[in-house]
Structure 1
Amino acid sequence: MHGCSYHLSTATVNGSPAFDHWHGQVQALVTPIDIRVPDRAAFRGELRQQDIGEVQFSVIDATRQEGVRDTSGPHGASSRFDLVYMRSGGITLRQNGREASLGAGEALLFSHLDDFRFLTSEFSEAYLVALPSAWIERWLPDPYACTIRPLIGTSRWGAAMDGLLRSIAIAVKEGRPLPAHIVGDQLGGCLALMCEGIAGEETTYRRRLMHQLRRTLASRFADPDLTPAAIAAQHGISVRYLHSLFAATGSSVGRELRSIRLARVRAMLEDVACRSLTVSEIAYSCGFNDPGYLARCFAQEYGRSPTSFRQA
């Protein structure tokens, strides 16, 4: 069936109002994103968009754009992933501390659950396929594992996806009906084939990142103002992604930081060289602002208060 379609062009508007109109419509129709351009008056863009069942297909032709998506803003995060394919020109996209650059004939996935930014070339033609999380998870067991990495050029199934996207784009430009269930199944099947084997590579990446995060906790535990936001910023990832990494291990940032601090407190209580320090002084030196809170946590962890532990 033919879904809802839309056509937007700056050709009918002159001067800077053309960009203002484009910016507003992209925010409403594609995603709430802040777009910056070198010259607002010289900007040119055209958007053709069609809903095809659960997915939304957009053809975007535009001069240089820089986009920034902040999920902490009023619009929050969206439960979707996007597949971007460059028909011509190029784009550089960054998310969760990772960056990938695409040229013509290349594609990648990125998530709307986390912040991202992109920069396009002087002129580019791109296909953007919006994929709801519930839809893509039927095809990919871990969509996050496939984000921010070029897909088509590295897969033997790339030619099939390339041909499928171009065929869909032609139909969208011509306003022709598309069988939603068939197109959806073809998109999902091609994605699954192209992403086969990537999960193992991503597991290695996540393990390495988790090792780095735990080293950060171990080196900065004494900072009472250490927050998940500060840790995420240090590693160039979003707070949401930071929490998801620890949750996947069955833990949390706060739990692991507290465990490191308590272990350090215990070591100082056992150290003869620290006998002159009060329990409160030890608490402050290990990142605890409240000695009473330390006492409660310590008793839960080791079965006795810090004072009793030291005496024993």
Structure 2
Amino acid sequence: MPVERRDEGNLVFGYLDTASADLSGASDTVLVRARAGDEGYAADMRPSRFGALSGCDISGEQEIRVMPRPSPAAPRPGHLLGLLVSGRGELEQDGRLAALTPGDFVLYTGARPFRLELGSSHRYFVLSLDSGTAGQLASADGAVTANSALPRSPSGRVLAAVLGELAERAQGFGPLARRDMGEHVSAILRTLLRETSLSGPAPSTGGAGVLERILGYVDERLADDLSPGVIAAAHHISVRHLHALFRESGTTVGDHVRRRRLERIRRDLLDPALAHLPAYALAARSGLGEASHFSRVFRAEFGLSPRALRAQTGEGLGAGMD
């Protein structure tokens, strides 16, 4: 764990951005101040990698305050997902203060000021998010950074449980399992972000069963014609009723179909068994056959191109599209 003592505190880097050998190029630099006075900072840090996600399990006995100190020469700091495994803490960012108890997670970004307080005898598990999920988080920043309500939502409870297990068992996973775990965390987090952005009420009880059948129908036929007329006819309802069911869930038929197709393509791009197939072939078999359109909507949804996604996770295929 590289640490540089300064008058203002201790500059710590390389715990997430492990490829950076010096302070000037590290994107994860933070200023850590021990609350007990002018003493150095010491902690047990165990970095790990979960596909596109970098993680670090941090255990310390000091009461500390952490603030971002990015180097102007380093890449822009990204978004972070932190879980308090033990001890106590709080995070302040964007005018919100989230108190943390064991099992709570919090979202924040190193690109803006934050203050993370961790009490004595703490253990904190932090992940840097992949570009696609971070892009989705950026669009919802005002609602989710330092938001203490997120771990209490249905998807938030699932995410907290997964993060807790990941922190405890990270060192026991092999390379493929690590990558899969990273994908699972990203998928649950994206679901949580979508739920957070919804403003409409939950579907009525009567419509929920119909909607569940429609959602399953869509997932099973992503390569087929999934226009509203086709979906409505297959379930013996009117197109107007179909639109109303999705509107009550806070989305539209077209947006849901597009998102499910893109998520299937994203999963396929990261599947080693499909590494021989170019991105446009994976897109075509999930119903997005027009190359220019697919590339544009994929980048808009995940914040990077299909080729960049594969390169980010080590697949790095030459075939594909930007």
Q: TM-score, normalised by structure 2?
A: 0.49
Structure showing greater radius of gyration is 1
